[in-house]
Amino acid sequence: MVHYHPGELAAQRRAGVVEQAEHSRLGIGTTLPPPAVEFLAEQPMIVVGAADAGGRMWASLLTGPPGFISASDERSIDIGVRPVPGDPLAPVLAHPTEVGSIAIEPGTRRRMRLNGVSHPKPGGLRVRAEQVYANCPKYIQQRTPQCATHTRPPTPPVISKTLTPRQQEIVRRADTFFVATRSASGACDASHRGGNPGFTHVLSPDRLRWPDYGGNAMLMTLGNLQQDPAAGVLLVDWYSATTLQLTGTAEVDWDPAIPMPGARRTVDFYVERVVQIDNNSPFTWSAPKYSRFNPTLDPQADKP
């Protein structure tokens, strides 16, 4: 039986969702049911979160033709690729390490998370599951993959300490991003965040803010941040296949003086390093159909 760690329990108490969280906990397993195996085999992408050798958290995009993710047994999945050269997690995933992962099918608004320990294998990874569970479809924008018009390989990474004006614009336009966190014991998690474009505010070149919308009440991301502020953020420009990977620290404001629409709490993310890789996917995505659960945004944005 899977239990919440003390940070998650503290976050759930703070948010007043203990009863709902306990109900959601019953859906967390350690094995892959047949529907999960089928779902993963159909996916062309998965996001993996982990810490690098310096302890910084990152989230990486892995893509491949349907079938590149498969179940090797009821507790393990095989991923048929590794991060591209220059990805911050490429070196660490060459060795056994704690990872969190999330697979999303935007066309049907389904998602599944699998957290555990990754081991390298020829041409890819094998992840031994410690937590397996599905999530609700809230805040997922409906879109479908399509072949990219470019034929160029991923570019060498462009690394900086803060966001450039162009990168800030990618953040402002984003309707989706992924966040990786870890517990005090080092167990990692990768989660999805979605909303209407503009839901993530750029307060400065090294500081972002986003609302924490209500979901399944597990509060695994916020629970990890109760124990360790390290966090990694992945943004994908769905039209150009450019990825932005940010690492830094995150802080939860449980009672913001100026709440963001649709959220009782907010998260401030302090950027320490940025990695941009262009052409980091063999496909792009169609224009989105926004989730009906996305809160309407305040016309005032990007206010510190």
Average pLDDT over residues 226-238: 97
Least confident range of 63-67, 155-159, 234-238, 282-286: 282-286
Extended strands (E) in the chain: 45-51, 57-63, 69-73, 76-79, 97-105, 110-121, 124-134, 145-147, 158-160, 176-182, 188-194, 201-204, 207-213, 230-237, 242-253, 263-277, 283-285
- The pLDDT, as a whole number, for residue 150 is 66
Q: Residue 231 corresponds to which amino acid? A: A
- The pLDDT, as a whole number, for residue 1 is 77
Query: How much of the chain exceeds pLDDT 70, in percent?
Result: 97
Average pLDDT over residues 55-59: 98
pLDDT per position as a tens digit, 76-92: 999 999 999 999 999 99
pTM over 0.85: yes
- The pLDDT, as a whole number, for residue 295 is 95
- The pLDDT, as a whole number, for residue 284 is 85
Helices (H), the chain: 6-15, 18-25, 34-41, 165-173, 220-227
pLDDT per position as a tens digit, 129-148: 999 999 889 999 999 988 77
- The pLDDT, as a whole number, for residue 300 is 54
- The pLDDT, as a whole number, for residue 75 is 96
pLDDT per position as a tens digit, 188-223: 999 999 999 999 999 999 999 999 999 889 999 999
- The pLDDT, as a whole number, for residue 95 is 97
As a whole number of angstroms, the distance between CA 197 and CA 215 comes to 19
Q: pLDDT-based confidence at 161, cuts 50/70/90?
A: very high
Which of 136 and 69 is assigned the larger pLDDT? 69
- The pLDDT, as a whole number, for residue 282 is 86
List the domains of the chain with CATH numbers.
6-285 (2.30.110.10)
> Quick check: 299 pLDDT over 80?
no
- The pLDDT, as a whole number, for residue 249 is 98
- The pLDDT, as a whole number, for residue 221 is 97
pLDDT per position as a tens digit, 7-51: 999 999 999 999 999 999 999 999 999 999 999 999 999 999 999
User: Is residue 295 within 8 Å of residue 263, measured between CB atoms?
Assistant: yes
